[in-house]
Each structure stands twice: as C-alpha cells, then as structure tokens.
Amino acid sequence: MSRLFVARNPRVAARVLDGEMMIMSGKDSTLFTLNRTATILWQAADGKTPLEEIVQARICPEFEVEPAEALKDAEALARELAGHEILQISEEPIPPRVPGESGAGE
Amino acid sequence: MPELTREVERLSLMIEIGGMPVRVNTTDADFLAMLQDRYSGFCRSSEEAEIEFDVELVEPGFADPEAEVRVAYRRGRWSLTRGDFRAEWEPGARRGWIRQSANPYSIDAVLRIVHTLALARQGGFLLHSASALRNGKAFLFAGVSGAGKTTISRLAPPDVTLLTDEISYVRKGDGSYVAFGTPFTGELAKLGENVSAPVAALYLLAQGPANRVDPVAPAEAARSLLANVLFFAEDEALVQAAFHSAFEFVSRVPVARLTFVPDARVWELMR
C-alpha cells in the first residue's frame, strides 16, 4: 500500500474555540466543524509526515484503536476532507504552498 | 440652427451609511429625487466622498432578471452583477459606475455589497439582524427570517431608537464594536435612525413560552454569527477576513440566546 501525505489547505480559514476546530472554505464560505479525529488529523497535517505515522503517533494513543483499522478510517477521513478542499492529499510529500496572488482583502 | 451639443447637468447626492460617505452622480433629476426620498436621514451635504459612483440609467429589462448576484475582484476592481444591475468599483481610485434602470432597489443592493466589502477589510460586517439603541448601548438581534427581528423591533418602547429591523451595520472600533443605523429595511419598512453606539450584546432570537436569556458557548456564538453575516464576494482573502472578524467579535461582545414571547416586556431584559 502506498504512503499518503496530508497537508492543510492554506486557502481555508481555521480557528479553535472551546476545543472545537472550525474551518471555513475560502472558496464558497462553507463552515465546517471538525470532530476530534479530524481535528487531530488537521493539526498534524504538515505535508511531510506520512499519514501512517500520524495515525500511530497521534490517533491510536488517543482512541486506543488498532493501527490497521485506524489507518483505514483515517485514509477515508483524509479523502473526505480533501473532497471539501480542507486538506490536500498526495502520495508524495507536499511542499508548503508559495503564496500566490493576493486577494482583495489583503 | 439646432444645438449640436448640450451641457448635461450633473446631479449628485451624498449618502452616508455607517460613517462612510458615498457620492452618487446622475443626470436624471427624478432619479435623484427618488434617492433623496429613499435615503432621507442618510443624505449629507457636500463632504469628501470615500467612494463616488456614476449612475447610468438604462431601460428596464436590459439584463436577465433571474441572474444571481455575482461579486468578483480582478485586477484592482470589483465587478458586481445581478439581473437588474451591473457595477464596477475601483477601490484604489475610490470611483465606480452603476448601470441600472431608474429604481431604488438596484442601487440599494450595490450599496449593501460595497459596504460589506469595505467593512470586511476593516474587521466589520453587515449582519442579518435587527438592532436598536437604548441608554447609549446598541443591542443586536440576529435570526433567520421568521425568528422575530421584525417583531422585536415593533415591540420596542419609546425610549428605544431603532437602528434597523433587518440589516445591522457593525464597525470595529478601538477595543469595541459600534453599530450604526441603516436605511436597509425589512418587513417593518421603516428606515433606521442614522445614529450609532457601542455594541453591548448580540442576542440570537428564538420565540418561546417565556422571556429568558441563556448563555451561548463561544463556538456556537461564532457559528451563529457567521450564519448571519452577509457574504457576497467570491474572494478567499475577504472570506478569511470575515471569518476571523466573527471570532474577534464573539471574543469581545457578549452573545446570548434570547427566547421571547411577543409582547413588550421582553425589552425589560435590555437596559
């Protein structure tokens, strides 16, 4: 099975409030509230740590689940978040995005 | 010999909402009179405008009446389109133009959009909420259609000054937020007073069997606020600015749920 890398999409706005991670899509203003697992995944998604390592180091100790099962669930979650353009996923490490053209709000 | 050219008189009106003067230029005296009537209380005599719009009047039906509003930023200028108007605004030059038929609704929509864009850059926003001033403090009442914005506005006692029954204007000040009256009306069809005051609280409206105020957790407050902020722009930077503004607001302004029965006693809770 190939390794998967995950990175936070820099085009979203994110804040933690009262332990809840809230994310707003810069594309269509949709607001998401992440559950605990998704929050851990988001916070650890640096683009260079493989998902497998994130699961072993961060998710398994938190939820006391089997690594194989946790990785399967985390992959599904990562793909779902990528579908909402909250995360980026790749089979290669994801370099930090070079800031592009400034928007009107800057 | 007939005149080949004729000097066209340029008429203008300064409309100041939220402390931001916008000059509107037209060549049509009847349209100007319509605007003076529509924005009475928000018209100012000559001052320097922050934005100046030239309005070109066209025959009704020049565009698709079913088209949705679109707001996009490209190469230093905003493009605003809806079925009944087209407009452009170049913030750097502080100028723009509006093409519409002679009606007050199109320019009203343009002004709402322009104010949301200008406020977003300054940490403020327009909010789907009624707002009112009492004892030098402003209270906001947010909710979806039917939640009670018009009802609570209608129930306001005589010592309460209505800022709006539909769209509140919130500007970030030094360490606080200030609510301004707006001419943007809802069912009450009554213009707000052109005054302002620091925001004392935001209430999320719900109708119920008794009047009560319940605390709202910060995360829920932020979610509810964001659900009621007016967004128009398809611009990531502005969306992000509005997102962070909402969190900043709930960290500084008390947010509570106001459940009320439709009678004037609810106003005893706001002093």
Tens of pLDDT, residues B92-138: 999 999 999 999 999 999 999 999 999 998 999 999 999 999 999 99
- Judge: B235–A105 Cβ closer than 8 Å, yes or no: yes
| Contact (CB, 8 A) for B68 and B232 | no
- B57-74 burial, b at 16+ Cβ within 10 Å, e below that, comes to beeeeebeeeeeeebebe
**Chain A neighbors of B218, CB-CB under 8 A:** 17-18
Query: Within chain A, how many helices (H) and strands (E) appear?
Result: 4, 6
- Which conformational region is residue B234 in: left (phi greater than 0), alpha (psi within -120 to 50 degrees), or beta? beta
Comparing alpha-carbon positions, the chain A residue that sits nearest to B230 is A29
Nearest to B190 by CA among B156, B157, B165: B165
Mean pLDDT of B147-173: 93
pLDDT at B47 over 80: no
Q: How far is CA A80 from CA A77, A102, B83, B206, in A?
A: 5, 28, 36, 34
Structure tokens at B182: 């707006």
Nearest to B241 among A31, A102, A105 (CB): A105
- Judge: B222–A102 Cβ closer than 8 Å, yes or no: no
- In chain B, the domains with their CATH numbers are 11-117 (no CATH), 125-269 (3.90.228.20)
The sign of the CA dihedral B95, B99, B101, B104 is negative
A103–chain B nearest CA distance, Å? 5
| Contact (CB, 8 A) for B112 and B184 | yes
- Judge: B78–A33 Cβ closer than 8 Å, yes or no: no
DSSP H helical segments within B121-192, as ranges? Answer: 149-154
- Judge: B222–A29 Cβ closer than 8 Å, yes or no: no
**Rounded CA Rg of chain A:** 14
- Judge: A106–B78 Cβ closer than 8 Å, yes or no: no
The sign of the CA dihedral B249, B253, B259, B264 is negative
Environment class of residue B11 by beta-carbon count within 10 Å: exposed (0-12), middle (13-18) or buried (19+)? middle
Comparing alpha-carbon positions, the chain B residue that sits nearest to A21 is B219
**Chain B neighbors of A17, CB-CB under 8 A:** 218-219, 222, 247, 250
This prediction's pTM: 0.87
pLDDT at B194: 94
**At which residue do the structure tokens 């709000």 appear?**
A105
Find how far residue B92's CA is from the centre of its chain: 22
Lowest mean pLDDT among A15-29, B114-128, B149-163, B207-221: A15-29
Distance CA A59, CA B138 (A): 46
pLDDT at B139 over 90: yes
**Chain B neighbors of A8, CB-CB under 8 A:** none
Structure tokens at A18: 């009262």
Those residues with Cβ within 8 angstroms of residue B187's Cβ, 6 or more apart along the chain or in another chain = B150, B165, B166
Mean pLDDT of B162-167: 93
Share above pLDDT 70 across residues of chain B, in percent, rounded to a whole number: 94
A26-61 confidence digits (pLDDT tens): 777 889 999 999 999 999 999 999 999 999 999 999
Comparing alpha-carbon positions, the chain A residue that sits nearest to B116 is A105
Which contacts qualify for A25-28: CB closer than 8 Å, 24 or more apart?
A: A25/A84, A25/A85, A25/A86, A25/B239, A26/B236, A26/B237, A26/B239, A26/B240, A27/A85, A27/B234, A27/B236, A27/B239, A28/B234
- In chain A, the domains with their CATH numbers are 5-90 (3.90.930.60)
B120-129 confidence digits (pLDDT tens): 989 999 999 9
**Chain A neighbors of B217, CB-CB under 8 A:** 18
Interface test with B, best of A11, A21, A22, A25 (most B CBs within 10 A): A22
Residue pairs between chains A and B whose CB atoms are closer than 8 Å: 68
Average pLDDT over chain B, rounded to an integer: 90
- Judge: B218–A104 Cβ closer than 8 Å, yes or no: no
